A = this chain, B = another copy of it.
């Protein structure tokens, strides 16, 4: 496979065909699984390809098949460590099934549409949208340009294919846990309030609180899922004297933990703290954060399944349950 030095210009199928005296279509078929070719000829061609270092040109085959084997991944927040971890595993999983990932990193504020023009011209087979923020459904549809768009860890109001953690179950699990450890004055630090995911978590959280007769003593908004926002949110809540705080994401919770500790609050004795996501840092001994773990592997598996499926008729909205990971920030060890 790594034979010889690569020539300046790579071999074409026609050239390889000429070299070994077969037709060019035979070469093409040799590389196309399931095509009409005898195994003997295929073996001979693959052998020669190996020997001369021929590899089919993916661009050319995109021309005719109109399939690029590329998925566009739309992201906007790689600062929150949850996303890189998700992207890493997603791209690897895609590679395993023969797809490559074209990254569209859209930055807020700037001319969104302009940033998305490329996604149409590159003819990606599928668009996977991870970005929680920014894109509204309409823009998204336009960007996909008729291709399949899959929402990953993000909700929409239309019926686009969606794979998402069950935020309701997650928020409820946290409340139930607070209840179990006998906390009743609860605080909430929201992420981006405008997003569907953010609203779902918050809604389920407050609903469950009410069901159990617990008291939401205060809630703080925030403009972003960042450490600083969590820090500030925690400080904002202190006056309400909560005995437990739920942060809409781990990165917020870490900021909150920092602020609370700096303020001399004992965790979990004075205030229990829980987050959402279970990013790797949540498990670090220095943080030891109770959190609702997103089922990343299953999310990805489902997303891949949707990417490969010919049609997505049923189960357009897949909600997967996660798991509450109880650590020292709520259980007095």
Q: In angstroms, how far is the closest chain B Cβ from the Cβ of A5? A: 9
A56 to B118 CA separation, bound complex (whole angstroms): 10
Report B-chain residues with C-beta under 8 Å of the C-beta of A115. 95
Residues A142 and B2 in contact, CB atoms below 8 Å apart: yes
A255 to B284 CA separation, bound complex (whole angstroms): 8
Considering only residues 102-155 of chain A, those with a C-beta below 8 Å from chain B are 102-105, 107, 113, 115, 117-118, 120-123, 138-139, 142, 145-146
Q: In angstroms, how far is the closest chain B Cβ from the Cβ of A323? A: 21
Counting every copy of the chain, the complex holds: 2
User: When the two chains form the complex, which single residue of B56, B92, B122, B258 contacts A107, counting CB atoms closer than 8 Å?
Assistant: B92
Residues B103 and A91 in contact, CB atoms below 8 Å apart: yes
Residues A146 and B102 in contact, CB atoms below 8 Å apart: no
Q: Does A1 lie at the interface of the complex (its beta carbon under 8 Å from any beta carbon of B)?
A: yes
Provided the pairs A81-B84, A84-B84 are in contact, do residues A123 and B59 lie with their beta carbons within 8 angstroms?
yes
Binding stretch for chain B, among A6-14, A37-45, A314-322: A6-14
Report B-chain residues with C-beta under 8 Å of the C-beta of A117. 1, 55
Q: Does A79 lie at the interface of the complex (its beta carbon under 8 Å from any beta carbon of B)?
A: yes
Report B-chain residues with C-beta under 8 Å of the C-beta of A10. 120, 145-146
Residues B258 and A122 in contact, CB atoms below 8 Å apart: no
Provided the pairs A63-B59, A100-B122 are in contact, do residues A78 and B88 lie with their beta carbons within 8 angstroms?
yes
* 6 shortest interchain CB distances as A-B pairs: A84-B84, A78-B88, A258-B286, A58-B121, A91-B105, A78-B84
